[in-house]
Amino acid sequence: MTLLKELSEARGVSGREDEIRSILFRHIREHIDEHRVDALGNLIAVRKARVPAGAPVPRKVMLAAHMDEVGLMITEITKSGLLRFQPTGGIDPRLLLAKKVLIGDNKVPGVIGVKPIHKLKAEELEQVPKYEQLTIDIGVTTQSAAEALTHVGDYATFDTAYEELGPFAKGKAFDDRAGCAVLVELLKHDYPFDLHAVFTVQEEVGLRGARVAAYSVEPDCAIALEGTIADDLPKKKDVSPTSRLGGGPVLTVMDRTFIAHAGMLRHTIAVAEKHGIPYQFKQPGIGGTDAGAIHLTREGIPSLTIAVPCRYIHSPVALLYIKDFEHTITLVRETLRTLTLDIIRPEA
Amino acid sequence: MKELVKRLTEAYGPSGFEAQVRAIIAAEVKGLADEVRTDGIGNLFVLKKGRDSSHRALVAAHMDEIGVMVTHIDKDGFARFTRIGGVRPLGLPGARVVFANGLVGSIGLEKLEDRTKVPDLDKMFIDVGAKDKDTCPVKVGDAATFWQPFAAQHGRWIAKAFDDRIGCAVLIETLRALPKPAYDTYFVFTAQEEVGVRGATVAAFGVEPDYAIAVDVTPTGDTPESHPIAAGIGKGPAIKVMDRGMIVHQGLKDWMIRTAEEAGIRYQLEVLEFGSTDAMAMQTTREGVPAGVLSIPTRHVHSPSEMVDEGDVQDSVKLLAALLSRPVSLE
């Protein structure tokens, strides 16, 4: 899990993924035959076919995991040296109060300010804070002192150390560094087709990297690898947890951005059952992934999303069950090894 | 045609699960086409060669209908669900839904705290009569549509899924009626329109047409206290000017109007303040495609019981055949 730790602690908000890209490249370079970085910053790595195919197989398969994480962007430096900001990607503002952040390339430490409980009026406790009301305190008292350390346009990330709690891993940005780590592991294995591993940018702001990457790669089919919502704490009502820790890899049937390719989904389920790998279906209708952009590229690309369930995503700290992570690697690897052209061929 | 419309509307085909509708259409167009194929997302392409093969026309109608998808089975075997496309909560309690394998469920409602508000889907569940979770015959990810028979009376038809099986029927009947189109014409029966014109997006990229027309339903303003809309049923096919997703190509729209007038087919003009069609996606594919819409006026769109006028449907076939028979003018 050292790779997940390194990726989780690294910083890469949408639009500024270079640190993540360098780490990933260092880890994959000896396992790939070609690579390129496109204009938006996607890292596209190719591992050529290394084993013979038993049956007709696709020529090119694309796997996508996004490098970017949600974060904040500094929008204004006030006269008193406090920093105003807006979110990059979806963050519940209730999570922000009194959180530690790191700002810009120099990792300037700061804390998001909050009024002490002694001074809160009863109605304020009921209210959700607005971004406009929040500021980051970097321990300076003047605008010029703040400007010496930070700039408008700097990104801020949560300052969260990775830690393992028994069989669980705790850290920030598992959405989607968990997917990135899965993809790195998958690149160490052999497949009967060219595997195009794409570490995408700007997923959290609208699947932007994946859209152009799929256009240039032109794969025969694709799988998006994700860290997805687990909302599995006990509830009063017997309703969907979206996914749950310990339930194994999460398969999407339908989310807000796509409907999974029926053949690929059937195949993945059959592989899971054959190998005794646990799996679960994500609550339909929730969220979206790079597959939403990929599957509509050019004349259409049969696509699937397979995810590691994670609690508390899009917050300063997420929790995953390490066995789910490992099962996800195994399930995707075995799904790929047995992926034939028949599975993605259009139905009559 | 009525028998075909009955079969098409009663068929099961929520977005992403169009196989049963596709099979009906594929059987109908057999022998009428020069080439039939499907693609990865499930679009059905039916090519009819034209007099001039240097140009391509694309006409599209979507096979999919709105529906629901199971999100969770509770311990007593009741299924929670989400919407596929624009399903409105108001018509759901008491409605029956049917799954791909023919299993029927009834939509039930929790006790409501506030009876003055329309409950959302999270207050509802599908009851398939299961005894508990383990023996429940449906699972998370299973999709269902309304279960409703087709009815015909005094020239008006009632059914689920006229949106857009009636468009599919118009395309099929046009294929039958059309001797030889002006251009190589792709009749594309698209998938996943109701969830974001997805089938049309990839189909238009592949066909690269010189012009495109979507055939779809349009809501009307001819019912009590309805949203003000000029179109009504029984007044002929509608030629779209604009909706929320597109402004129709001026030249193409004018050509559609001229063609209707020259062929003596009554028509209405349509400006829709909400919704859109496959033409929206086709218009912005590649370098841009002149795109228009021939709409069949339909009451109660996205409810379990939509209504069309038989004469409007017949005239839509005549208008589409007239359009495809002649060279396009985009002036």
Instruction: Please answer yes or no on whether B16 and A295 come within 8 Å at the CB atom.
Output: no
CA distance A234 to A296: 37
Residues of B whose CB is below 8 A from A235: none
The pTM (predicted TM-score) of the whole model is 0.95
Give me the catalytic one of A203, A218, A226, A347: A203
A348 has pLDDT over 70: no
Instruction: Please answer yes or no on whether B37 and A299 come within 8 Å at the CB atom.
Output: no
Nearest to A213 by CA among A67, A12, A33, A325: A67
Instruction: Please answer yes or no on whether B141 and A254 come within 8 Å at the CB atom.
Output: yes
Give me the catalytic one of B65, B193, B194, B270: B193
Contact B297, B156 (CB under 8 A): no
B283 in contact with chain A, both atoms CB, cutoff 8 A: no
**A305: part of which helix (H) or strand (E)?**
strand A303-311
Mean pLDDT, range A309-336, rounded to an integer: 98
pLDDT at A212: 98
Instruction: Please answer yes or no on whether A240 and B192 come within 8 Å at the CB atom.
Output: no
A206 in contact with chain B, both atoms CB, cutoff 8 A: no
Q: How many CB atoms lie within 10 A of CB B241?
A: 17
Mean pLDDT, range A62-80, rounded to an integer: 98
Digits of tens for pLDDT over chain B (331 positions)?
999 999 999 999 999 999 999 999 999 999 999 999 999 999 999 999 999 999 999 999 999 999 999 999 999 999 999 999 999 999 899 999 999 999 999 999 999 988 899 999 999 999 999 999 999 999 999 999 999 999 999 999 999 999 999 999 999 999 999 989 999 999 999 999 999 999 999 999 999 999 999 999 999 999 999 999 999 999 999 999 999 999 999 999 999 999 999 999 999 999 999 999 999 999 999 999 999 999 999 999 999 999 999 999 999 999 999 999 999 999 8
CA distance A335 to B175: 42
Give tens-digit pLDDT for A89-148.
999 999 999 999 999 999 999 999 998 999 999 998 899 999 999 999 999 999 999 999
Residue spans of beta strands (DSSP E) within B163-302: 183-190, 211-219, 238-242, 268-271, 291-298
pLDDT at A276: 98
pLDDT at A93: 95
When the pLDDT of each residue in chain A is averaged and rounded to a whole number, the result is: 97
CA distance A280 to B12: 26
Instruction: Please answer yes or no on whether A240 and B140 come within 8 Å at the CB atom.
Output: yes
- What's the gap in Å between the CA of A345 and the closest CA on chain B? 7
CA distance B24 to B6: 12
B36 in contact with chain A, both atoms CB, cutoff 8 A: no
B74 in contact with chain A, both atoms CB, cutoff 8 A: yes
A203 is catalytic: yes
B291 in contact with chain A, both atoms CB, cutoff 8 A: no
Instruction: Please answer yes or no on whether A346 and B42 come within 8 Å at the CB atom.
Output: yes
Residue from A231, A258, A299, A303 whose CB has the most chain B CBs within 10 Å, to mutate: A299
